Amino acid sequence: MVTELAPRQIVDDLVLANHILSNEGVLDAFGHVSARHPTATDRFVISHTRAPELVEPDDLQLLDLHGARVAGGERRSYEEVAIHAAVYRYRSDVGAVVHSHAPSVIPFGVTAVPLRPIYHMGSVIGHEIPVWDIATRSGDTDLLVRDEQQGDDLAAALGRRTVVLMRGHGCVVAGADIRAVVFTAIYLERNATLLMSASALGKVRTLSEGETQRAAAMLRGPAGERAWEYWVRRLPAHRV
Amino acid sequence: MVTELAPRQIVDDLVLANHILSNEGVLDAFGHVSARHPTATDRFVISHTRAPELVEPDDLQLLDLHGARVAGGERRSYEEVAIHAAVYRYRSDVGAVVHSHAPSVIPFGVTAVPLRPIYHMGSVIGHEIPVWDIATRSGDTDLLVRDEQQGDDLAAALGRRTVVLMRGHGCVVAGADIRAVVFTAIYLERNATLLMSASALGKVRTLSEGETQRAAAMLRGPAGERAWEYWVRRLPAHRV
Amino acid sequence: MVTELAPRQIVDDLVLANHILSNEGVLDAFGHVSARHPTATDRFVISHTRAPELVEPDDLQLLDLHGARVAGGERRSYEEVAIHAAVYRYRSDVGAVVHSHAPSVIPFGVTAVPLRPIYHMGSVIGHEIPVWDIATRSGDTDLLVRDEQQGDDLAAALGRRTVVLMRGHGCVVAGADIRAVVFTAIYLERNATLLMSASALGKVRTLSEGETQRAAAMLRGPAGERAWEYWVRRLPAHRV
Amino acid sequence: MVTELAPRQIVDDLVLANHILSNEGVLDAFGHVSARHPTATDRFVISHTRAPELVEPDDLQLLDLHGARVAGGERRSYEEVAIHAAVYRYRSDVGAVVHSHAPSVIPFGVTAVPLRPIYHMGSVIGHEIPVWDIATRSGDTDLLVRDEQQGDDLAAALGRRTVVLMRGHGCVVAGADIRAVVFTAIYLERNATLLMSASALGKVRTLSEGETQRAAAMLRGPAGERAWEYWVRRLPAHRV
C-alpha cells in the first residue's frame, strides 16, 4: 500500500511531478524527483529505477538518508540516490529534490558562461549557480554520483543555494516542497534556453541580486498554484 | 452570468484568445489578454488569476481603468492588471491588450539588439519597439508592474506604438480589438525568432519604415480572419 | 463539382499538399500551393483565400494565367495569385508551385549568406538560389506580388531554377508536379535549418554542383513516393 | 511468414526500432535500421524501401552480406543496403546498424568541428568520430553508398568505432544489438544538439577518454532497458 509510504498528498504530487517534468522536457528516460517524508524526516520517497513518465504510485519506495531502501519492495533503486540522500542530510529546509539532464542546462556546465536569471520567471534559480565537477576529487569516472563522499561533495557545492550544475552531466535542484522544486526545474530550463539565445545576440544584462531575491519571493506565492494547475492540465491523461 | 459582463462576441473571442495564445507558444502559465468593454469604455474584461489555457467564460471579470473589480466575483485578479488599466487610460484607440513573456522576445529586452520587422508578416509590430526598464524609476523590484505610477510610465514608453518590451520581464502588445492583438502577439514572437536566426548569419536588412507601414496596413485587412480561423482550428478542442 | 475543375488525382493531391505543407511546418495560416491543369494547360488550380491546413476540395478554384477566376465560384482569391500565374506563363515545364514564408528560409533573404544544399536531401533546391527584392523596381511596397509586372520580374529572377527567395517575404518553389514541389519545399526548409546550424559552427562545405545535380536526379526517383506516403500518414486525419 | 525470417524477438524489436527512431526525430522518411540474424550470421533483416515509421513485420526481408535478397519477397530494397552489408562483413561484433540523416549530426559532417561527447549520456558515441567523405575516392556522386567498394571504404573509416559521419549525407551507427544501436543513435542526436548550443557559448570541455569509456560501459547496463520501455511508451500506438 503506497499510503504506508507517505501521505496521499505527497504520493499524488510526486507522481504528478514525475509526469510534469517529463511532459515539459526537463526529464527524458533519465533523471528523478524525490520528496522528503513530512513526518519521518530522515526518510525520502522516490521511484525505483524507471523512466519518470511511467512512474505510478506503486513504483515509489521509501529510502533512508544513506540511500538504503526502508519500504516499497526490493526493486532496484536509481544509481544516484546518493544525490538525494546527501541533499536531505545537508539541508533540513529542503523537502524535494530534482536531478535532471535538462538539455539547455548542459552547455552551461561545460563552458565558462555563468547561468544567471535574465527575466523574473528565472529568478527562482537564484543569483549564483555553481558548477560542480566530479573529476576534481574523483578523476575519471562514469560521472555518476554513487557514494556518500561524492554526495557530500556535491551537497557542499550546492550550499544554501537552489541549483548546482554538474559538469558533463546535469544539475540538482532543491526546493521546499514538490511543487516548488518542479517550478524551479522548469524555469531553470526555460531561462537557460533564453540566456543562450540572448548570448548569441550580444552582451546580456542579467537580473540584479536584489531583483532576483524580490522576484523569487513573489513567485513563491500563489503563482506556483496557477502554474501547477496548468502543468497538470497539459498532461495527456489530464487533458479535458 | 458572463453576458452581463460584455457582449457574447467579446466573451467568446477573449476566451479563444486566451487559448490561442497558449497554443501558439506566446503564453504559458503566465501572461494575460484583456478587452475593453465596447460601450462602457472605462471598463475592461480579463480573467481572474488563472493560466490562460484554462480560462473559460465564467473566469472573466470586469475591471475599471484603475484595476478595481466591478463585476465577475471576488476571485483574485492578476498581479499586473495595472498594465492593462494604464494602456486603456492612455490610448482611447486601444481595444485589447496582451501582456506576455513570449520566449523569443525576452532576449531583445536584455541586449542592445533592436527588435525590428524582417518580413512582411512581422510588420504588425511596428517600425520601432522601445525597451522599458522598470529599474530606471523603481530600482530593484520583483519586476512586476503593480501600481498606477509604474503603469503610467510603461504606457508612456509605449506611446502611440503597438509594442513595448519590458527589460527582464516580457512585453505589452496593444491593438484595436482582440483579433488584432492576437495577430500581433503571435507574429511578434515569430519575427523575433527569425531575427535571432538571421542575426547569427550576419548583418540583417530589416523592413524600411514605408514597407512596415504598408504591409501592416495590408495585414489589418482580411488576412486577420484567415489567420483567426486557422488558429481556432488548431486548438485541441476545435480540431475536426 | 470539383471534378469539373480538374482530374480527381490533381484535386486529391492538391488538398493533401495543402495539409502536408502545414503539418510539416512549411506553411502556417499563409502561403499557398497550386497545380497546373493537366490538359487545359493555361489554367491552374488553387484554393480561394483560406489557411492551407483547412483547404478541402470544395475550396479549389480554376484560374487562368493572368490570375482571373474561371471556375469554382466567386470567393476571393489569395492576394498573390500573380506569383503562380507568372511562373506558369514563364515555365511550361512547371506543373506545381508553392509560395511560402517557411521560417528557416526567411533569414537567407535578409542577409548576405547564400542558401546552398549541404546534404544530398537538400540537393533538390538546386545549386544556386537567387534572392529577388521587390524594392529594386517597386520601391516601398507591402511586399506582396500583386500585378503581372511584379510577377514577370519574379519569374525572371527564378529563371530555369527551382527556388527563388523573396527578400523580407518568403520564397517560391517550382516543380514538375504536386508531389515534387512538396518534396522540394519541405527539404528546402530542412536544409536551410541545417545550414544555419552549420554556419554557427564555422566554414561550411556545401555540395558541389555535380553532387547537387546527381543527388537531385536520384531523388526525382522512387524516393518521392516513399516520402509522400510518410507525410500523408503523419497527417492527423490519416494516422492509423 | 515473418517468423521464417528471424526469431520473433528480433522482428518485434526491429519494427519497434523503426518506429522509435522516427518518433524521436532521428529518422524521417529516409534512413534505415537493420539487425543481423542471430544464428544465420551471414544474413541481416531490414525492411524493403519504406519510411521507417510505417514499417510492419511483413515489410521485413532477409539479405545476405552482399545485399542480395534471400527471403521476404521481391519488393525493392533500400538503395543503400551496401552500408549495412559492409558493416556486418567487417565487424563480427556488430548485431545492428542504423543509417540516418539525423538533423543535428549533419553540421558536424560539413564543418571542421569534431563531434565529441559532452555529457555522460553522449558517451555511447565514443571518444572519437571520424568523418568519411565519399568524394575522396568516388568524386562527384549522388552521395549514396551503392556498391561494395564504397561500403568497404566506409566500413574501414568506421573501424572499431561506434559511429562514423558521412560528409553531406548523414551517419552510420553500429551496435551489439537493436536496443543498443537505438540508444546510441538517439543520444548521438541529443549530444550533437547540445554540442552546437555549447559551441555557440564558447570553448567546450568534452568528456575525457576515460570518462567516455566508463560512462559508456555503465550505460550498456540496465539503463538501456529503462530507456527502451520509455521510448516504446511514447509511440502513439503504445500510449496508455
Q: Specify the pairing of strand B32-36 against strand A131-132.
A: unpaired
- What integer is the mean pLDDT of A128-144? 98
End-to-end Cα distance, chain C = 29
Verify whether the Cβ–Cβ distance B194 to C109 is below 8 Å. Answer: no
Quote the minimal CA–CA distance from D17 to chain C in Å.
16
Interface of C with B in 18-47 (CB under 8 A): 28-30
pLDDT confidence band for D156 (50 / 70 / 90):
very high
Q: Is D175 helix (H, G, I), strand (E, B) or coil?
A: strand
Average pLDDT taken over every residue of chain A? 96
- Give the pLDDT score at A149: 97
Beta strands in C81-225 (DSSP E): 96-100, 131-132, 163-166, 170-175
All three cell numbers of D186: 538517439
pLDDT confidence band for B75 (50 / 70 / 90):
very high
Based on its alpha-carbon atoms, the radius of gyration of chain A, rounded to whole angstroms, reads 17
Which residues of chain C fall below pLDDT 50? 1
Q: Is A11 on the interface with B (CB under 8 A)?
A: no
Q: Is A157 on the interface with D (CB under 8 A)?
A: no
Verify whether the Cβ–Cβ distance B233 to C108 is below 8 Å. Answer: no
- Give the pLDDT score at C239: 77
Per-residue pLDDT tens digits for D63-86: 999 999 999 999 999 999 999 999
Of the residues B4, B24, B53, B80, which is catalytic?
B80
- Give the pLDDT score at D221: 86
Distance CA A168, CA D23 (A): 26
Quote the minimal CA–CA distance from D77 to chain A in Å.
34
Average pLDDT taken over every residue of chain B? 96
Distance CA B73, CA C53 (A): 40
Verify whether the Cβ–Cβ distance D140 to C208 is below 8 Å. Answer: yes
Per-residue pLDDT tens digits for D35-63: 999 999 999 999 999 999 999 999 999 99
Tell me the sheet residues that pair with C171: C100, C165
D154: left (phi over 0), alpha (psi -120 to 50) or beta: alpha
Q: What ipTM does this complex have?
A: 0.96
- Give the pLDDT score at C4: 78
- A23, A108, A110, A235: which to substitute to probe chain D, counting the most D Cβ within 10 Å? A110
Q: Specify the pairing of strand A163-166 against strand A131-132.
A: parallel
CB A158 within 8 A of CB A172: yes
- Give the pLDDT score at C238: 85
Per-residue pLDDT tens digits for C129-173: 999 999 999 999 999 999 999 999 999 999 999 999 999 999 999
Distance CA A196, CA A202 (A): 10
Q: In sequence order, what are the residues at sequence separation of 6 or more whose Cβ sits closer than 8 angstroms to the Cβ of residue C114?
A: C108, C128, C129
The CA-atom distances, in angstroms, between D36 and each of C218, D10, D86, D153 are 28, 9, 12, 20
End-to-end Cα distance, chain B = 29
pTM of the model: 0.97
Per-residue pLDDT tens digits for D26-40: 999 999 999 999 999
User: For the CA atoms of C72, C78, C81, C84, what is the dihedral angle to 10 degrees?
Assistant: -90
- The residue of chain A nearest to residue D222, with distances taken between CA atoms, is A49
Q: Give φ, ψ of C19 to 5 degrees.
A: -70, -40
Q: Which of D155, A237, D110 is nearest to C121 (CA)?
A: D110
Q: Which of B83, B43, B41 is nearest to B60 (CA)?
A: B43
Residue of C79, C199, C236 lying closest to B201 (CB–CB): C199
Per-residue pLDDT tens digits for A220-232: 988 999 999 999 9
- Give the pLDDT score at D3: 56
Residue of C54, C135, C168 lying closest to B233 (CB–CB): C54
Percentage of chain A modeled with pLDDT above 70: 98
Largest distance between two CA atoms of chain C = 55
Three-point CA angle C240, D2, D7, nearest 5°: 115
Element (H, E) at A44: strand A43-47
The CA-atom distances, in angstroms, between D92 and each of A6, D81, D147 are 51, 17, 20
Verify whether the Cβ–Cβ distance D104 to C202 is below 8 Å. Answer: no
- What integer is the mean pLDDT of B123-152? 98
Residue D167 with chain C: CB contacts under 8 Å: 205
Element (H, E) at C19: helix C8-23
Is B80 in the active site?
yes
Quote the minimal CA–CA distance from A150 to chain D in Å.
16
Element (H, E) at C187: helix C178-201
Q: Is the pLDDT of residue B1 over 70?
A: no
Residue D19 with chain C: CB contacts under 8 Å: none
- Give the pLDDT score at C82: 98
Tell me how many residue pairs between chain A and chain D have CB atoms under 8 A apart.
Answer: 107
Distance CA C113, CA A188 (A): 34
- What integer is the mean pLDDT of D201-230? 96
Interface of C with D in 176-215 (CB under 8 A): 190, 193-194, 197-198, 200-208, 210-211, 214-215
Residue B144 with chain A: CB contacts under 8 Å: 120, 215, 218
Q: Is A131 on the interface with D (CB under 8 A)?
A: no
Distance CA C68, CA C42 (A): 11
Residue C101 with chain B: CB contacts under 8 Å: 119, 121
Helical residues (DSSP H) of chain A, grouped into ranges: 2-5, 8-23, 81-90, 106-109, 135-138, 148-158, 178-201, 209-219, 223-234
Residue D202 with chain A: CB contacts under 8 Å: 111-113
Side chain identity at B66, as an amino acid letter?
A: H
Per-residue pLDDT tens digits for B188-226: 999 999 999 999 999 999 999 999 999 999 999 889 999
All three cell numbers of A180: 516548488
Based on its alpha-carbon atoms, the radius of gyration of chain D, rounded to whole angstroms, reads 17
- Give the pLDDT score at D238: 85
Beta strands in D75-227 (DSSP E): 96-100, 131-132, 163-166, 170-175
CB D174 within 8 A of CB D106: no
Per-residue pLDDT tens digits for D91-139: 999 999 999 999 999 999 999 999 999 999 999 999 999 999 999 999 9
- Give the pLDDT score at D4: 78
- Give the pLDDT score at C2: 52
- The residue of chain D nearest to residue A198, with distances taken between CA atoms, is D201
Q: Is B132 on the interface with A (CB under 8 A)?
A: no
CB B99 within 8 A of CB B82: no
pLDDT confidence band for A182 (50 / 70 / 90):
very high
Q: Is the pLDDT of residue D239 over 70?
A: yes
CB D135 within 8 A of CB D142: no
Q: What is the DSSP string of A59-124?
A: GEEEEETTS-EEES-SPPBPTTHHHHHHHHHH-TT--EEEEE--GGGHHHHSSS------SGGGGG
- Give the pLDDT score at B2: 52
Distance CA D114, CA A100 (A): 26
CB B79 within 8 A of CB B144: yes
Strand order from edge to edge, sheet including B131-132: B69-71, B60-64, B43-47, B32-36, B96-100, B170-175, B163-166, B131-132
Q: Is B68 on the interface with A (CB under 8 A)?
A: no
- The residue of chain C nearest to residue D54, with distances taken between CA atoms, is C230
CB D170 within 8 A of CB D31: yes
Q: In sequence order, what are the residues at sequence separation of 6 or more whose Cβ sits closer than 8 angstroms to the Cβ of residue D51?
A: C226, C227, C229, C230, C233, D22, D28, D29, D30
Q: In sequence order, what are the residues at sequence separation of 6 or more whose Cβ sits closer than 8 angstroms to the Cβ of residue C129?
A: C108, C114, C115, C116, C161, C163, C164, C165
DSSP tag of A134 = T
Q: Give φ, ψ of B70 to 5 degrees.
A: -115, -30
pLDDT confidence band for D240 (50 / 70 / 90):
low
- The residue of chain C nearest to residue B202, with distances taken between CA atoms, is C111
Q: Is C104 on the interface with B (CB under 8 A)?
A: yes
CB B86 within 8 A of CB B64: no
The CA-atom distances, in angstroms, between A40 and each of A12, A75, A140, D166 are 18, 22, 37, 57
Element (H, E) at D63: strand D60-64
Distance CA C130, CA C117 (A): 13
CB B109 within 8 A of CB A199: no
Percentage of chain B modeled with pLDDT above 70: 98
- The residue of chain B nearest to residue C166, with distances taken between CA atoms, is B119
- What integer is the mean pLDDT of B25-53? 97
- Give the pLDDT score at D117: 98
- Give the pLDDT score at C54: 97
DSSP tag of B42 = T
Distance CA C193, CA C211 (A): 20
Per-residue pLDDT tens digits for A1-57: 455 799 999 999 999 999 999 999 999 999 999 999 999 999 999 999 999 999 999
